[in-house]
A and B are shown apart, each in its own frame.
Chain A
Amino acid sequence: MPTAIQLEHVTKRYRTGRARTVVDLVASSVDSLRGRNQDVHSATRGKISSIIKALNDVSFTVPEGAGLGIIGRNGAGKTTLLKLISRVTWPTAGKVRVAGHVVSLIELGAGFHPELTGRDNVYLGAGLFGLTRKEIDRRFDEIVHFAGVERLIDTPMKRYSSGLYARLGFAVAIHSRPDIVLVDEVLSVGDAAFRRRALEALRQLITDGKTVLFISHDMWNVRRLCSQILWMEEGAVRAHGPAGEIAERYMNEVNLQALANQETALQSHRGGTGEVRFETVELFNGAGAAAAAFEPAETLVVRGAYTATHAVERPVFQVAIVDVDTGVIVTTASSVGAEMPAIVNGAGSIEVRFAHLPLRPRQYVLRLSITDAHQLALYDQVLAGPRFAVIGKGGGVDSLADEQDGLVSVPFEVRHRGLEGLGS
């Protein structure tokens, strides 16, 4: 496969803070006229205080016809990368080489003018991507149809909703005969139907041999569109490899980091009357060691120490595993299958054991409550209890979890029968 994009030791620095003085400009112009130190932003003059290294010695190549996902935290240098590839900005050092026509969707409809009609803006926007009037004429109907703005095409764009605005922007971009398409988180603006169509269109571009670079925080979309992922961290390439593997490693780290930041106190979202209260809630693995990260099918033990202020009859202890985005996944209650004393008073503890944690890799949070036997009186409630993460260990259906993949892992078998098998 020929190479579509090649970055060699690319470094990009931005200067922040104080604006440069005219003296600096003159000095750097003199330098550049002499052919040395082309870098207007260089810190070599000493006067300039703060330099941000947006990218530091980044090298990678993308073959033609590839879908490359770019992931990483905010400020990791993802957008700077796209700006360099699209020539909006230039590297401080290193080389950026690109083969073919680049169309960037760093912001949808960036070239549109609200006073002009949709029709005029199609010509203006596609013109910014280098298309001639004739070329636009040929694609015009397709663009309008894709965006679904037939009825509004002769209306000034200031009357468009932001969703429609973005749709027309996207339609113009992908019809501007790109060889390389750069997409920066822009799909979040449209509705679900448009997002799906946009992803399909990008997928089709890849099938047609075009190259797509796709920045997103949505691992589901990234994995479906891209075969490879570039993981950026603090301006450098952290990892570059097969999408499934890199996405899993990335999400494992995100999940673990979230655990490291969690508060251990049970203060937040606390409710209940307080007759019986959890004092501490701790998590252990199957070996009895304190843990916050678990592998799929590992043992998770939740131990809650409680205090009852006076004798309380038949309290019910409940522990639930909750996914922050989708809701309760598993509930347990001490009233089911547990041998509980008729009355509790003073200190005690309760232990819930999940022998084979049936969860896919993701972050989870525990919700705990203590009620009376009829689950009417609420003695204690911890809505946001301790968090734990399930960490993927290498591919397969259990490599990642999200709303689309499902959160629970159950053993399954799939069988296939051809036509001959049905006849018997």
Chain B
Amino acid sequence: MTKRQLSDKPDRMSVSAYLELLMNLTRREVMGRYSQSLFGAGWAIAQPLATMAVFTLVFARLGQMPSDGAPYPMFAYAALVPWFFFSNSVTSGTLSLVTYRNIVTKTYFPREIVPLAQVGSRLVDLGAASSLYVLLMVYYGVAPTVWTALVPVFLALLLLFTLGVTLATSALNVFYRDVSPVVQIGLQLWLYLTPVAYPLSAVEGYRPFFLLNPLTGVVEGLRAVLVFGREPEWPVVGVSAALIAVIFVAALTLFKKTEKYFADVI
């Protein structure tokens, strides 16, 4: 028998137990979302696909929006998939601790697993939606280049930023339920303030302002290496990456500082 020490810190979960719990909660989320729906994970594709169709009609056909020479549907879809990953993660992540109040107030486990599982479950959607992008590449005859190998880097930045925002909004929403509606409205505006429907080059005059948005670097960078197969604009990517790192650390700190009180106020 191992010697047990008195400690005022919670029991540490082993890394494998932690990861498996995260996987289990992610699976619980995915199954909960799609278990009694006919179309299942197809919904994960339908959302960016339908938006792509509307954007193509409104921005490309009616608005003559430039897409830097790429086929507009592909141009839009490559940005909409990461956008919806971010937006859906934040939306459900914000509510997650309150939704899981039953576990949060009854058992101890590392609390961040709850919002992380929300992001994880949207990762599944991201994977499903990405498969359609491959079909678009085939359809438009766009071949990958050496720069396409950088896709994981931008996905990692996207993931880190999504995790950061979700950790912060989920923790704040425990204390103030106003956070969720604010996030809803914020996300709607955010979509149009991010170069999703248009390229960054179309808003050159407002460039510094756009650089404050970490998603600018992610979306622009991802589109550069994926749609155009060219080198990303490194300064833009660098600014975004730095912002993302700061936001993630700040959000994690906020979460860890406040998690002790979740069960009391939830």
Residues of chain A touching chain B, judged by Cβ–Cβ distance below 8 Å, are 2-4, 6, 14-15, 19-20, 22, 25, 29, 32, 40-41, 64, 83, 86-90, 95-102, 104, 106-107, 110-111, 113, 115-116, 120, 123-124, 127-133, 179, 209
Contacts and interface: CB of A to CB of B under 8 A. Distances in A.
B13 A130 contact: yes
Contacts, number: 115
Contacts of B24: 120, 123-124, 127
Contacts of A124: 21, 24-25, 28
B264 A99 contact: no
Complex A-B, nearest 4 residue pairs according to Cβ-Cβ distance, in ascending order: A110-B106, A99-B4, A87-B108, A127-B21
A104 B107 contact: yes
B6 interface: yes
Interface stretch (B81-89, B127-135, B225-233, B255-263): B255-263
Contacts of B20: 123, 127, 132-133
Given A124-B24, A130-B109, A41 B261 contact: yes
Interface string B1-35: 10011111011011011001100110110011001
Interface string B164-187: 000000000001100000000000
A115 B8 contact: no
A25 B5 CA distance: 35
B103 A111 contact: yes
A127 B264 contact: no
Nearest to A99: B4
B186 to A, nearest CB: 15
A93 to B, nearest CB: 13
B102 interface: yes
B176 to A, nearest CB: 7
B264 A2 contact: no
Contact of B103 (A89, A128, A131, A209): A128
B108 A88 contact: yes
B47 interface: no
A83 B31 contact: no
Contacts of B176: 19-20, 22, 25
* Most B C-beta atoms less than 10 A away, residue of A40, A98, A113, A130: A130
Contacts of A15: 264-265
A88 B31 CA distance: 27
A6 B17 contact: no
B107 A111 contact: yes
A74 B249 CA distance: 42
Given A110-B103, A123-B24, A128-B21, A98 B14 contact: no
A110 B102 contact: yes
Contacts of A102: 11, 108
15 contacts: A4-B4, A20-B176, A22-B176, A95-B8, A97-B6, A97-B7, A99-B7, A101-B11, A102-B11, A110-B107, A116-B31, A128-B21, A130-B109, A131-B17, A132-B17
B105 interface: yes
A131 B6 CA distance: 21
Chain B: number of interface residues, binned into ranges: 35 or more
Given A95-B8, A96-B8, A99-B6, 8 more contacts: A3-B6, A64-B4, A87-B108, A102-B108, A127-B24, A129-B109, A130-B109, A179-B4
Contacts of B104: 88
A87 to B, nearest CB: 4
A15 B16 CA distance: 37
User: Of residues B14, B20, B254, which shows the largest number of chain A Cβ atoms within 10 Å of its Cβ?
Assistant: B20
Contacts of A2: 4
B61 to A, nearest CB: 43
Interface in B142-182: 175-176
Contacts of A88: 104-108, 263
A105 B175 CA distance: 26
A3 B264 CA distance: 28
Nearest to A25: B175
A98 B14 CA distance: 18
A332 to B, nearest CB: 52
B17 A90 contact: no
Nearest to A3: B6
A127 B28 CA distance: 13
A156 B175 CA distance: 33
B179 to A, nearest CB: 10
A100 B4 contact: yes
Contacts of B13: 130
Interface string B86-111: 00000000000000001111111100
Nearest to B105: A88
Contact of B16 (A95, A115, A132): A132
Contact of A104 (B7, B36, B108): B108
Nearest to B22: A127
B41 to A, nearest CB: 16
A129 B109 CA distance: 7
A113 B103 CA distance: 11
Contacts of A64: 4
Contacts of B254: 29
Contact of B257 (A32, A123, A130): A32
Contacts of A107: 102, 106
